[in-house]
Amino acid sequence: MGSVTFFLLATALVVSALTVVVHPNPVKSAMALVATLFLLAVEFVFLGAHMIAALQVIVYAGAIMVLFLFVIMLLNLSDEEAEARRRGRALFRIGAWIGGGVLAAELAALFLRVPFPAPAAPPAGYGGAESVATALFVDYALPFELTSILLLIAVIGTVVLAQRRAS
């Protein structure tokens, strides 16, 4: 993949990720997260990790985003509640913009100062089914299971919050 293609995709990826964080509407924020996940899958395709790209689309852009949208719909945020939350976060947004500006300045200084080496060739089997399965079920089995438990706890918490609000 050429550096121009990489930087164009990376720019689109960063813009869609910022839209996830900045947009006040949770459904539009979730849709921007879908776009971010698809753009990340395209990056994986260009890196030659086709299995990881397919998993990215199936697992994250498919299953996890459906779960997120169900949670958003289950919470049923009204416009008045969302407006009250937005007003209360003004100081937080100012701090976030200042922090983001400082981070952007630091990254610009780093990119202008440091010459980038040529990318190395990926190891044999990179992004294939065997290497992904070995990493997921052997090297990182405990974090994988902890993540699934965390998602289960989040769904249960959302259902409890939705029931408490309905009654």
Q: Is residue 95 domain-resident?
A: no
What phi-psi label fits residue 107: left (phi over 0), alpha (psi between -120 and 50 degrees) or beta?
alpha
Q: Is residue 112 domain-resident?
A: no
Q: What is the DSSP string of 26-53?
A: HHHHHHHHHHHHHHHHHHHHHTT-HHHH
Q: Is residue 10 domain-resident?
A: yes
Among candidate residues 28, 5, 6, the one with its CA nearest the CA of residue 16: 28
Residue span of the structural domain in which 142 resides: 3-82+119-166
pLDDT in tens, 96-115: 788 888 888 888 887 787 77
Model pLDDT, residue 84: 61
Give the CATH number for residue 155.
Answer: 1.20.120.1200
Q: Is residue 28 domain-resident?
A: yes
Summary mean pLDDT of the chain: 80
* One-letter amino acid for residue 110 of the chain: L
Chain centroid, CA 62 distance in Å: 13
Residue range 14-24: mean pLDDT, rounded: 86
- Scan for tokens 């959302």, then name that residue: 158
Q: Is residue 25 domain-resident?
A: yes
Q: Which residue has the higher pLDDT, 117 or 80?
A: 117
Q: Looking at the predicted structure, is the pLDDT value of residue 80 above 60?
A: no
Domain count, the chain: 1
Q: Is residue 13 domain-resident?
A: yes
Evaluate whether 20 touches 32 at the Cβ level (below 8 Å): yes
